[in-house]
Amino acid sequence: MKILSPRFAFLLALALPTAAAAQRGGDAVYIEDRLNQLQQTLTMMTGQIEQLQHRNASLQQQMEKMQADYEYRIDQLEKGGGGKPGGAGPRPGGLAAAPAGPASPTPAPTPGGAAPGGAAGEQLYDEAFKKLQEGDYAAAERGFKTFVQRNPQNKLAGNAQYWLGETYYARRDYNNALTAFAEGYKVYKTSPKGPDNLLKLGITMSNLGRKSDACAVFARFNQDYPRATDLQKRRIEQERQKNSCG
């Protein structure tokens, strides 16, 4: 059996820890990338759930409206025509019944007190979110930005402002992402996406090298959002540790 020279054995002993450290460093980078990918996927899945919940609420509103309209028409038929379709009874106040014409559709209630045309606005939101899912971040950016500009009081405006920030963040445009998340936190602080705006604001600051500012943002989280989800609180704690916040 060939015996290694003492000099070669010494050099080999020095090289092994270095190789092991390099391997550990590579593993750490890989794990960090995987965590970022998983967090981005989780963010997208959360958005999909929110979109489904919104659609379900819209359908529920439509069903309730149709039910109310149906009951009203039945009630009017019974009062005006003895329960027989087409009956023409006296109208309130003794006024003669006007000739029946096509029923004018009653405008559906718009979410969040938005002006008429809210349905078209929500379609714009849905289309922008679809572009976001497809990875067309530039188109998603235009859609969400237009939605917020046209529907600043819509109940989805806070969500749209957050996803606008995500369109920048996904492209590593951290300066514009910072502005979008800060605007979302300032203007839509009480929206469902308020905690996420603040969380992502801190993360974006960290990516820009503003560690102290990021730590200050993370410190405000529990104060501003004591009822945040456990997941959001865990993310805050993870980011605090990652940035060595005191």
pLDDT at site 163: 97
Spatial contact of 129 and 140, defined as CB atoms under 8 Å apart: yes
CB atoms within 10 A of CB 49: 10
Token pair, residue 81, equals 């025509």
String of b and e for 69-106 (b: at least 16 CB within 10 Å)? Answer: eeeeeeeebeebeeeeeeeeeeeeeeeeeeeeeeeeee
What is the mean pLDDT of each successive set of 10 residues along the chain, which is 246 residues long? 53 52 64 66 66 56 47 46 42 37 38 47 92 95 96 95 97 97 96 95 97 96 94 95 92
Q: Is the sign of the CA dihedral 171, 176, 180, 185 positive or negative? A: positive
Contacts for 195 with CB less than 8 Å, ≥ 6 apart: 221, 224, 225, 228, 229, 232
Token pair, residue 157, equals 């405006």
pLDDT at site 33: 67
| Closest to 108 in 3D by CA, of 154, 160, 58, 56 | 58
Q: Is the sign of the CA dihedral 140, 146, 148, 154 positive or negative? A: negative
End-to-end CA distance of the chain: 57
Q: Which residue do the tokens 């109208």 mark? A: 91
- Rounded Cα distance, 125 and 127, in Å: 5
- Rounded Cα distance, 155 and 148, in Å: 10
pLDDT at site 62: 53
Provide the whole-model pTM: 0.57
- Rounded Cα distance, 199 and 202, in Å: 5
